[in-house]
């Protein structure tokens, strides 16, 4: 990000701090080919100065794959984590493994607790796993939610999508998943919807 871009962003952050009547969290990212990881720290510190909370995320590379962080990216990641305040967005211990390029053992509930809706109105697991189930939202049923709740996702061990990790934490201890789609009682509540 250029100094000019940072200056424009800073004006928007100032405006938001003066007018927002709601909690604001600024999430910066490192990894995946981000050319200036230092910008995440600059933005994070500025966000805290303005009274916002600030978190750090790790993104995948251009092909949607996990890449371990380099030394400078890891330093920035840990410094940013030390700045984070208490909030739901701090439920991110899974990122420590991602920073090292290690797999996570978890139950991804994409397609059930979390829906990603693309510009064509189709439901996908997430922005990185477009193409499945690729069902129109208008026809996505409770049976689809039940199936995906229990479906083990092959992409889960190296997933970097924080939103999916966080919303799936609610069910980390229940309903084992299966490699093939299966039917079971639907989760009672909390479906997070993300649209592009």
Give the CATH number for residue 53: 3.30.750
**10 lies in some domain:** yes
**77 lies in some domain:** yes
Same domain, 129 and 57: no
Average pLDDT per 10 consecutive residues for the chain, totaling 196 residues: 72 89 84 82 90 82 70 86 60 73 85 89 84 90 91 85 79 68 42 50
Distance CA 42, CA 80 (A): 10
Tally Cβ neighbours within 10 Å of residue 134. 12
CB 40 within 8 A of CB 59: no
Run of H or E residues at 12: helix 3-19
Total structural domains within the chain: 2
Q: Which tens digit of pLDDT belongs to each residue from 168-189?
A: 877 766 776 666 544 334 444 4
**pTM for this model (two decimals):** 0.59
Question: Which pLDDT score is estimated for 184?
Answer: 39
Question: Which pLDDT score is estimated for 65?
Answer: 65
> According to DSSP H, which parts of 20-114 are helical?
38-49, 71-83, 94-100
Question: Which pLDDT score is estimated for 140?
Answer: 94
Q: Which tens digit of pLDDT belongs to each residue from 38-68?
A: 888 898 899 989 998 888 878 776 656 677 7
**165 lies in some domain:** yes
Give the residue numbers spanning the domain of 134. 114-195
| SS3 assignment, position 57 | strand
Question: Which pLDDT score is estimated for 121?
Answer: 94
**107 lies in some domain:** no
CB 156 within 8 A of CB 114: no
**105 lies in some domain:** no
Same domain, 70 and 142: no
Distance CA 194, CA 23 (A): 19
**70 lies in some domain:** yes
Closest CA to 106 of 143, 146, 161: 161
């Amino acid at each position: 990000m250029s100094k000019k871009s940072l200056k424009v962003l800073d004006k928007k952050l100032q405006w938001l701090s003066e007018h927002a009547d709601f909690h604001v969290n600024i999430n910066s990212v490192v990894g995946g080919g981000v050319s200036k990881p230092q910008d995440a720290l600059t933005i994070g510190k500025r966000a805290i100065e303005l009274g916002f909370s600030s978190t750090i995320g790790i993104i995948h590379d251009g092909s949607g794959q996990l890449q371990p962080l380099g030394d400078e990216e890891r330093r920035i990641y840990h410094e940013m984590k030390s700045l984070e305040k208490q909030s739901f967005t701090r439920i991110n211990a899974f990122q420590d493994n991602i920073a090292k390029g290690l797999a996570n053992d978890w139950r991804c509930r994409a397609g059930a607790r979390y829906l990603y809706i693309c510009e064509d109105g189709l439901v996908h697991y997430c922005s990185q796993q477009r193409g499945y189930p690729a069902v129109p939202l208008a026809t996505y049923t409770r049976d689809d939610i039940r199936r995906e709740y229990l479906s083990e996702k092959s992409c889960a061990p190296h997933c970097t999508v924080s939103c999916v990790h966080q919303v799936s934490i609610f069910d980390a201890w229940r309903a084992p998943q299966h490699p093939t789609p299966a039917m079971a009682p639907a989760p009672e509540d909390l479906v997070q919807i993300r649209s592009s």
